[in-house]
């Protein structure tokens, strides 16, 4: 059984919370079903550049409110990619 192939991993669409650095994305591996990924979190250094990505971890109220604001757009994007069950 072959292992993970990074060339088959595709990021289809991404949303970023500029305040908290949280990323939400739609990912697809090979011909598999597209799925939503929460995280990573990209924080800023003092000089304004991006730090290395870190796990999303626990979500703050700000993260939840932002997710609530974009969830319909995420759902619509994903629904357009996934056929009916």
Separation between Cα atoms, residue 57 and residue 53, nearest integer Å: 12
Domain segments of the chain: what residues?
A: 7-81
Q: What angle do CA 67, 56, 32 make, to 5 degrees?
A: 80
Q: ω before 40 within 30° of 0 (cis)?
A: yes
Per-residue pLDDT tens for 19-70? Answer: 999 999 999 999 999 999 999 999 988 998 889 999 999 999 999 999 999 9
pLDDT, residue 11, reads: 97
pLDDT, residue 21, reads: 95
Contact residues for 34 (Cβ-Cβ < 8 A; gap 6+): 12, 26, 27, 28, 78, 81, 82
Read off the tokens for 29: 């591996």
């Amino acid at each position: 059984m072959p292992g993970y192939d990074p060339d088959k991993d595709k990021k289809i669409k991404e949303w970023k919370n500029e305040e908290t650095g949280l990323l939400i994305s739609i990912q697809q591996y090979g011909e598999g079903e597209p799925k939503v990924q929460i995280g990573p979190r990209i924080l800023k250094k003092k000089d304004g550049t991006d730090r290395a990505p870190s796990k999303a971890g626990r979500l703050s109220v700000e993260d939840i409110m932002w997710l609530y604001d974009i969830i319909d757009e995420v759902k619509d994007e994903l629904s357009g990619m996934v056929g009916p069950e």
